[in-house]
Structure 1
């Protein structure tokens, strides 16, 4: 069965001889990878809380965790996290080819691929997420800074930027949802 015009006869987007990776398996792998690297959802939620507290009364860490979980449900972000963490792991084991090994190992300032992957992951959450990511990448608050400064053979070149991306996405998601709720209440009050 052909799913799209232009594909060769008998071709499909999904090959029967390839293992299909379920969304649940990917989500579980992301959760395990973050945990293995010492990152808890609460760590990310604290950054979201700090960003949004000045704008939202009644904000709690639990609300921030809920938004972090919502962001982590996005496949594009999950894939970016898995790729980035894997590159960090390979760099720790000195398994990358030179000069890439040295660029990743040293978190070379002009390398930029780590930020590019993380910035790509914020694209679905709009300009607020993009500008927030830039701020977090520069300031490196909380766990982002801890990951950036990690020593003792640890490489977090991609992870610190991915955590900034997750926090920026969750912050944007939260801001948009709060605004939607406010507008809904205003509309309901006008209709009364």
Structure 2
């Protein structure tokens, strides 16, 4: 299943290394780590079945919205990524919750700041006909969960 998830992310122009770069930038000032540690932790997050399910669900909803295969009014809500929709964030939080409350706070920061790959996905969705309503939040959730996993396993500087 993990291979399918990684393939689906790649099809949406998201590489493991892109997520790991964000994780590294967020954690390097707090723990002794390198990019290999970030990649390892992103992969460990992606090993979790509940994470895989969230990613597959969100990507599929984005694709269905692009193809206009969702009924109104939900189609317009998803395509516009309406602020009060919030289901995209809830799906991402299901990923962060695997690693406790620190994942939740990490996600809030990533979602607000739109750093790295999360910002790139968000911009791409606004500048193309692609829908990334779920993808940017899912990637932020993966990064936040990886950061939380690191925080749980590494000693502070």
Calculate the TM-score normalised by the size of structure 2: 0.95
Structure ranking higher in helix proportion: 2
List per-residue Cα deviations over 1:84-138 (Å, max 9, x = no partner): 0000001111111001100000100110000011112211101110000011111
Asked which structure has the greater CA Rg, the reply is 1
Q: SS in structure 2 opposite 1:149? A: helix
Residue correspondence of structure 1 range 38-57 to structure 2 within 5 A: 38-57=13-32
Output aligned runs, 1:87-166, within 5 Å: 87-150=61-124, 151-166=127-142
Distance 1:156 1:45 in 2: 19
CA distance in 2, matches of 1:44, 1:120: 17
Mapped to 1, the partners of 2:36 and 2:96 lie a distance apart of 22
Runs of 4+ in 1 over 6 A off after TM superposition: none
The number of equivalent residue pairs is 154
- Secondary structure of the residue aligned to 2:25 is helix
Gaps of at least 5 residues in structure 1 are 1-25, 183-192
* 1:64 and 2:38 are equivalent in the alignment: yes
Matching of residues 2-17 of structure 1 within 5 Å: none
Q: Specify every segment of 5 or more residues in structure 2 that has no aligned partner in the other structure, as ranges.
A: none
What's the offset of the Cα at 1:28? 1.6
- Tell me how far apart the structure 2 counterparts of residues 162 and 170 of structure 1 sit (CA, whole Å): 12
Give the root-mean-square deviation of aligned CA atoms: 1.0
> 1:147, 1:162 → 2: CA distance?
11
Which of residues 138, 143, 146 in structure 2 aligns to 1:167? 143
SS at match of 2:148: helix
Q: Which has the higher contact order (CA 8 A, sep 6+)?
A: 2
TM-score normalised according to structure 1 size: 0.78
